[in-house]
A and B are shown apart, each in its own frame.
Chain A
Amino acid sequence: MAAFTQKVVAEVIEVQEFPELGNAYQVRGVPLTVINEKYSFTGAANEQMLLDHVKKALSKNLEGDS
């Protein structure tokens, strides 16, 4: 998605190297994806699943599963 538009920032964090970030985001399992610092989900997601999560994250007052 980030290769398609600069409106999307994609960041991958190797959590073993940065345990302080893992703690800050309460990473309990990987992969953990956090969208706009407020919505998160654990587990691999294909494109359609990621798109669904993104849409949920952008809609108001919805929390992720973690």
Chain B
Amino acid sequence: MQILNDSDREIVKNRFENELASEVNITLFTQMDLGGLIVPGRECETCAPTEQLLKEVSEISDLITFKKLDIRNDAEEAARCNVSKIPSFLVSKGAETNVRYLGIPAGGEFPVLIEALVNVSSGEPKISEETKRFLDGLEENLLIKTFVTPN
């Protein structure tokens, strides 16, 4: 069953057609399907729906590439990306790892995914000149974590 309904898909498609400027990647860290096996300590209720949602979104535009990695088999890449929880995904143009999402971007958080794709793709987020000047002058790195719930 699809997660996105036709009207959501249409809205997203419109935005992508107008606003996606270049190729953008979604890299999901999850665990490989255990074939229905329930392994204590390896339960991941949202891994499958997160994968499906991200796949559905990536299929809306040819500019989006979806890649799925395994947190254990791809441990080196997970460490490089600072990922230790599943499901987690990155939105990137290339090898950068600075836009991360932990969990499923569902409900009220779905627009965050779309904004991230559009902004990373364009590299020209809709931020003010003041903010841009401030960021250009940053002498240290900034780590901004935002805790949310889906509704």
Contacts and interface: CB of A to CB of B under 8 A. Distances in A.
Interface residues of A, number: 36
Contacts, number: 145
Given A3-B120, A17-B103, A11 B143 contact: yes
B102 A14 contact: yes
Nearest to A45: B146
Interface in A42-61: 47-48, 51, 54-55, 58
B116 A3 contact: yes
Interface residues of B, number: 43
Interface string A17-56: 1100110010100111111110000000001100100110
Contacts of B97: 9
Nearest to A33: B146
Interface of A: 1-18, 21-22, 25, 27, 30-37, 47-48, 51, 54-55, 58
Given A1-B135, A17-B102, 15 more contacts: A3-B122, A7-B138, A7-B141, A9-B82, A9-B100, A9-B142, A11-B144, A13-B145, A14-B102, A31-B148, A34-B146, A35-B143, A35-B144, A47-B131, A58-B140
